[in-house]
Amino acid sequence: MENNITDKPDLVEKITNTIKKKRKLLLLIIFIIITILSIIFFFNYYQDNQNEKISEKYIKAGLYLSEDREKSKIIYKEIILSKNKFYSILALNNIIENELEQNSEEILKLFNIIENAKNEKERKNLIKLKKALYLIKISRPKEGNELLQEIISQNSIWGNIALELSKQ
d(CA 39, CA 33): 10
d(CA 91, CA 105): 17
Q: What digits encode the pLDDT tens for the residues 103-150?
A: 888 888 888 888 887 778 888 888 888 888 888 888 887 888 888 888
- 3-state secondary structure (DSSP) of residue 72: helix
Neighbours of 148 (CB within 10 A): 27
Q: What is the dihedral of CA 29, 31, 33, 37, to 10 degrees?
A: 180
From the first residue on, what is the mean pLDDT of each consecutive set of 10 residues in the chain (168 residues)?
A: 55 80 86 95 91 90 85 90 87 87 86 81 83 84 82 80 76
The pLDDT score that the predictor gives to residue 1 is: 46
User: Hey, CA dihedral for 99, 104, 106, 110, is it positive or negative?
Assistant: positive
CB 132 within 8 A of CB 145: yes
From first CA to last CA, the distance across the chain in angstroms is: 87
pTM of the predicted protein model: 0.70
